[in-house]
Structure 1
Amino acid sequence: MKNVGMKPESYRIAKASAELLAPAHCIQLLADGNTEKGDALKTARIAGILAAKRTDELIPLCHPLPIYRADVEFELLEDRVVIYAEVETIGPTGVEMEALTAASLAGLTIYDMLKPHCEPEDLVLQQCKLDHKKGGKSHFKRTLRRAVSAAVIVLSDTVAAGRKPDTAGRSVAETLEQAGFAPIHYQILPDESEQLKNLVLELSQSYVCVITVGGTGLGSRDITVETLQPLLKREIPGLMEAARSFGQKRTPYAALSRGVAGYIDRSLVITLPGSRGGASESMSAILPALVHLIDVSQDLPHAQGYQ
């Protein structure tokens, strides 16, 4: 199965439909609710809903998802019944297969209940297709409309001294590059408050986004938050709340991160944890909001030409 453990949850909807061709007298039986086996439409609706809830048991590589809503409706035409299925969830992956399975199983149920009333060749299940989906990458973008500049500052005494390589900052820079940020400035500093303050104030004059990596914990040398929070003119607490909430589901240590985010001049400053896991998880959690915020900011008059 595909690993979706690092994907943020979002509200997702999928709609699918299918058609069952049938003779006119069978369509009338559906309208009357009077087949040999009972009311076919009511039975098919329950079958479709159950199918949506159990799709992961029927299709080998589908992920189990909490189904918050599933419904099946029907439209009776002269020579066919059109089946509409709609499924909703909040999860890390979509419910397209659940909606398609619901439409298919509802159609098969009607087929089964009509087959005593006609010849096999008179019934044709066709055009099972996805009509609409919402949520996830298709709705919450993770790439910028146009490139803007970003800077990544790694705060670590050991990395600055060359005693270990940086992986967390490189991971953040790679994620930003994939999201369309360019150019990207990358720099390593020791955990020194004055150096950090001076560099961030300098970079905030020319970079749209400045992300620090490290120094958000509770150690005596973790000075990032104390250094940068007083400089923020407008804080955005929701970014770090989202990052901590996302990380908390993956490690209880996420609760110890003290990261902050906000604006210094026109530059968006975000402080991330120094571990690769913490930095990567935080970026996964906030990237859609970060991309949206940057895209909206680029449309504002003060941001024109500020690349």
Structure 2
Amino acid sequence: MKNVGMKPESYRVAEAQAILHAPAHCIQLLRDGNTEKGDALKTARIAGILAAKRTDELIPLCHPLPIYRADVDYDLHDDHVVILTTVETIGPTGVEMEALTAASLAGLTLYDMLKPHCEPEELCLDQCKLLKKKGGKSHFKRTLRQPVSAAVIVLSDTVAAGRKPDTAGKSVVETLTEAGFDPIHYQILPDEADQLKNLVLELTKSYACIMTVGGTGIGKRDITVDTLEPLLERKLEGLMEAARSFGQRRTPYAAMSRGVAGFIDRSLVVTLPGSRGGASESMAAILTALVHIFDVCRDLPHPGGYE
């Protein structure tokens, strides 16, 4: 089963269809709600809704999801009925299979209730297919339309002294690279306020996005937030709210992060935790927002490459 634990939740919709071909007199039975077994359309609608809610039990590798909406509708023609399903959720993965399963099971239920009224070869269920999906990476992009310059600054006395390797900062660089940020400046500093302030102010002249890694905790040497927060001209508090909320569902320590985000001149500055897990979780939570900022907010001309 695919691990979706690091995927952010989003609103997701899927629409699917299936077509049941049947003789004209069977279609009339559907219109009248008068088959030998009762009202076929109503029964199949219930079957389809139940199928959507239990798809993870029917298809081995599907994830269980909260189903917020499951609808089954019909379009009746002279010799066939089109079964249309819509399923909605808020979750880390989509509901395509739920919509398809609902269409299939609704169609099979109609098949079962019509078979006493015709010959087997007169019934055919086909064209079960996805019509539309919305949400997730297909709707909320995680890659830039064009490159944007970025800088990653790692704040750590121990890493700067060479006593341990940096993994958190490199994971942020990797994520930014995959998202299309380029060029990317990478630098390690000790937890020194003056060095950090001077470097960030210098980088704002050339880089559109500046990510710091480390120094967002509550230790005496955690100076990143105290140094950069007074420099922020326009705060984007929602970015760190999203990161903390995402992290809190994975570790209670996320609540200890004091990270902030906002603009210094026309450069976006984001402060991330210094652990690899904290940095990775924060990037997973805010990456789509970062991409949206630089793809859509075109009133941010900058020599770093996102005019």
Q: TM-score, normalization: structure 1?
A: 0.99
1:262 paired to 2:262: yes
Cα distance, 1:68 vs structure 2: 0.3
1:237 paired to 2:237: yes
Q: Which residue of 277, 285, 303 corresponds with 2:301?
A: 303
Map Cα deviations across residues 148-194 of structure 1 (whole Å, 9 max, x no partner): 10000000000000000000000000000000000000000000000
> Matched residues in 1 for 2:87 and 2:302: separation?
41
In structure 2, what residue type is equivalent to 1:235?
K
In structure 2, what residue type is equivalent to 1:19?
I
In structure 1, what residue type is equivalent to 2:205?
Q
> Matched residues in 2 for 1:185 and 1:278: separation?
21
In structure 2, what residue type is equivalent to 1:78?
D
Aligned to 1:181: 181
Map residues 1-307 of structure 1 onto 2, 5 A cutoff.
Answer: 1-297=1-297, 299-300=298-299, 302-303=300-301, 306-307=304-305
> Matched residues in 1 for 2:162 and 2:81: separation?
70
- Runs of 4+ aligned structure 1 residues displaced above 6 Å come to none
> Matched residues in 2 for 1:167 and 1:210: separation?
18
Map Cα deviations across residues 1-21 of structure 1 (whole Å, 9 max, x no partner): 000000000000000001000
Cα distance, 1:306 vs structure 2: 4.3
> Matched residues in 1 for 2:244 and 2:80: separation?
52
> Matched residues in 2 for 1:270 and 1:203: separation?
13
> Matched residues in 2 for 1:97 and 1:42: separation?
22
Cα distance, 1:305 vs structure 2: 5.3
> Matched residues in 2 for 1:239 and 1:204: separation?
19
> Matched residues in 2 for 1:207 and 1:184: separation?
9
Does the residue aligned with 1:182 lie in a helix, a strand or coil? strand
Does the residue aligned with 1:108 lie in a helix, a strand or coil? helix
Q: What 5-or-longer segments of structure 1 have no aligned partner?
A: none
Given that residues 207 and 303 in structure 2 are in contact (C-alpha distance below 8 angstroms), is that contact kept between their aligned partners in structure 1?
A: no
Q: Over the residues paired in the alignment, what is the CA RMSD in angstroms?
A: 0.7
Given that residues 208 and 302 in structure 2 are in contact (C-alpha distance below 8 angstroms), is that contact kept between their aligned partners in structure 1?
A: no
Does the residue aligned with 2:175 lie in a helix, a strand or coil? helix
In structure 2, what residue type is equivalent to 1:94?
G
> Matched residues in 1 for 2:227 and 2:301: separation?
26
Q: What 5-or-longer segments of structure 2 have no aligned partner?
A: none
> Matched residues in 1 for 2:236 and 2:221: separation?
24
Cα distance, 1:296 vs structure 2: 1.8
In structure 2, what residue type is equivalent to 1:303?
P
Sequence identity of aligned pairs in percent? 80
Given that residues 17 and 131 in structure 2 are in contact (C-alpha distance below 8 angstroms), is that contact kept between their aligned partners in structure 1?
A: yes
Q: TM-score, normalization: structure 2?
A: 0.99
Does the residue aligned with 1:129 lie in a helix, a strand or coil? strand
Cα distance, 1:304 vs structure 2: 6.2
In structure 2, what residue type is equivalent to 1:256?
M
Cα distance, 1:202 vs structure 2: 0.2
